[in-house]
Amino acid sequence: ILNVEQSPQSLHVQEGDSTNFTCSFPSSNFYALHWYRWETAKSPEALFVMTLNGDEKKKGRISATLNTKEGYSYLYIKGSQPEDSATYLCASDNYGQNFVFGPGTRLSVLP
């Protein structure tokens, strides 16, 4: 079983602060890395699919980078808003079929 880790486990920031968190995964046999946002009482929502070393993707104020050689990805949120409060999950994609999820980073943005 692949071991996917995320840090920190939880995070509290003030509205307007920028923040980032980390996903680490085994770099051998890498196929793809997925980021999800999971808001309370909703279903996890796909944010990014990342495949190439050095990939950088952006969606509004959220962006992500990927380093497949060292096995990590960063998720950045610029100017956090209360609606960004959620659990952010990353998942290592094992040859395009099974995902192995990290435990998530719970972000709380305080107004």
Partner 1 sequence: DVKVTQSSRYLVKRTGEKVFLECVQDMDHENMFWYRQDPGLGLRLIYFSYDVKMKEKGDIPEGYSVSREKKERFSLILESASTNQTSMYLCASSLGSQGGNQPQHFGDGTRLSIL
| Residue numbers at the binding site for partner 1 (CB under 8 A) | 1, 4, 9, 31-32, 34, 36, 41-44, 46, 49, 51, 89, 91, 93, 95-104
The letter for the amino acid at 31 is: Y
User: CB 18 → partner 1: shortest distance, Å?
Assistant: 25
**Phi and psi at residue 91, to the nearest 5°:** -140, 135
Q: CB-wise, 26 or 79, nearer to partner 1? A: 26
Q: How far is the CB of 21 from partner 1 (least distance, A)?
A: 14
CA distance 26 to 92: 8
Which lies closer to partner 1 via its Cβ, residue 9 or residue 53?
9
Tokens 């094992």 appear where?
A: 94
Shortest distance, CB of residue 38 to partner 1, whole angstroms? Answer: 8
The Cα–Cα gap between 1 and 17 comes to 36
Tokens representing residue 7 in the block: 């840090």
Shortest spacing between CB 40 and partner 1, in angstroms = 11
Nearer Cβ to partner 1 (29/97) = 97
The CA distance from 51 to 102, in Å, is: 17
